[in-house]
Amino acid sequence: MRQILLVSVTSCCLYDGEMIECPKDDQNPDGGTLGHAPRLLVGDGRVLDKRVSVLRGTRSVPLLPGTPKLDSLKSPWSGLIIEKHLVGAVEIPFHEHPTLCIHLQTTGPVEMDWNSAGRSGHIRSTRGDLILLAPGTRDSLLWYGTSERVIASVSSTLLVEAARQLEMPALGEIRNIWSLQDDQLRLLLTEMEREMSSGWSLGSLYGDLLSMAFSVALLKKYAQFTTLKPPFRGGLSRNRLRHVVAFIEEHLEHDIRLGELAALTGLSIFHFARSFRESTGITPHRFVVQMRVERAKSLLTRSAWTVQQVASAVGIENASQFSKIFRASVGVAPNQWRRSN
């Protein structure tokens, strides 16, 4: 078994082989001293705002030590932070989660001890297993081996908005689950990881849809509510749909957000997305992609613009990603389509 070192060296400590800053006064909330809890040196508060962070005392620090393999520093998404880590055998001292936190283990197996609210447990998790921790959870962790995991932090603002759009009366208590199997959440987190690894290539609108789908799935399964109003039924009226389509056409070169489209109809984001799909047969994101491809076809035919210029004109800054989207929709690359038309 790999030894886990947590030793004080003046104002620093060795945390899984990495020398990092340590505070001098962290206490175990269940009694007793933890010693010097490790603290990453993060000089830019704006960077910390884009990390999955926890509270130790009054300080906000990254949940996990070291640099993530993938992070949210350039994410256009709102309310959700996601990271990918290779986590070694390590002890994470007591901390508090200010937001909902969920882990998806992507390699394994690995054994882990947890302590929270006077309770403790030992689990052996494997690839595909999740950990779900509600806002306000205080816990400590001890991993006995190495695993790769995707970790997401969901803001309370996003959860409250999801509850409102589900017409639930208030955000109820969310259960902590230390060993969870949920195919829907696993698939959504895997898709978030793919989008993160691609450099957020599908943009804000797709991220808004994905974040809302994730939050709604969480609340429906793991939050406790006393009442639930009847669900909204029906698609968009012809006038509302025409208004939305006109807005999209006029703003194709911009980063269109789901909230902007919903505001045009006076509906919540959740109801707008569902109503739009009922009216058109596809999601708002897929509809925008199709309109961008059609606009790109026109520009490729009628102008001498480069592929990069065409991509920018239809709201896709990355020419490589534009080419992938175009090929997926049309079947050939942009320049090949131009030559044949």
> Going residue by residue through the chain (341 aa), what tens digit of pLDDT does each one get?
444 433 322 333 333 333 333 333 333 333 333 333 333 333 334 445 689 999 988 889 999 988 999 998 888 888 899 999 999 999 999 999 999 999 999 998 999 999 988 788 999 999 999 999 999 898 999 999 999 999 999 998 888 888 877 766 556 678 899 999 999 999 999 999 999 998 888 888 888 888 888 998 998 888 876 444 444 456 888 788 888 888 888 888 888 999 899 999 988 888 888 889 888 888 898 889 888 888 888 888 888 889 999 988 888 888 888 898 888 888 889 988 888 88
Please name the residues in contact with 218: beta carbons below 8 A apart, sequence gap of 6 or more.
Answer: 100, 102, 132, 154, 159, 162, 174, 185
pLDDT confidence of residue 90: 92
In this structure, how many other beta carbons lie within 10 angstroms of the beta carbon of residue 80?
A: 22
Q: 19 forms bridges with which residues in the sheet?
A: 14
In the three-class reduction of DSSP (H, G, I as helix; E, B as strand; rest coil), residue 300 is classed as helix
What is the C-alpha to C-alpha distance for residues 290 and 21, in angstroms, rounded to an integer? 50
Among candidate residues 195, 188, 200, 166, the one with its CA nearest the CA of residue 269 = 166
pLDDT confidence of residue 128: 96
| Torsion on CA atoms 180, 183, 189, 191, rounded to nearest 10 | 170
Specify the DSSP class assigned to residue 336: H
Q: 215 burial class (0-12, 13-18, 19+ CB within 10 angstroms)?
A: buried
Tokens encoding 12: 């620093």
CA separation, residue 181 to residues 127, 132, 327 (Å): 10, 10, 36
pLDDT confidence of residue 9: 29
pLDDT confidence of residue 32: 33
Q: 113 forms bridges with which residues in the sheet?
A: 122, 142
| Torsion on CA atoms 194, 43, 142, 27, rounded to nearest 10 | -150
Q: Do domains 6-222 and 292-341 have the same CATH topology?
A: no
Please name the residues in contact with 341: beta carbons below 8 A apart, sequence gap of 6 or more.
Answer: 297, 300, 301
pLDDT confidence of residue 170: 59
pLDDT confidence of residue 35: 32
Domains of the chain, by residue range, sit at 6-222, 232-281, 292-341
| Torsion on CA atoms 130, 135, 137, 138, rounded to nearest 10 | 110
Specify the DSSP class assigned to residue 179: E
Please name the residues in contact with 4: beta carbons below 8 A apart, sequence gap of 6 or more.
Answer: 16, 89, 90, 91, 142
- Reported CATH class of domain 292-341: mainly alpha
What is the C-alpha to C-alpha distance for residues 1 and 19, in angstroms, rounded to an integer? 22
Asked if 205 contacts 258 with a C-beta cutoff of 8 angstroms, the reply is: yes
Q: How many CA atoms lie within 13 A of 37 on its CB side?
A: 23
Among candidate residues 136, 2, 42, 29, the one with its CA nearest the CA of residue 93 = 29
Specify the DSSP class assigned to residue 24: S
CATH 2.60.120.10 for the 6-222 domain, yes or no: yes
Among candidate residues 336, 333, 290, the one with its CA nearest the CA of residue 314 = 290
Q: ∠331-210-267 over CA atoms, to 5°? A: 105
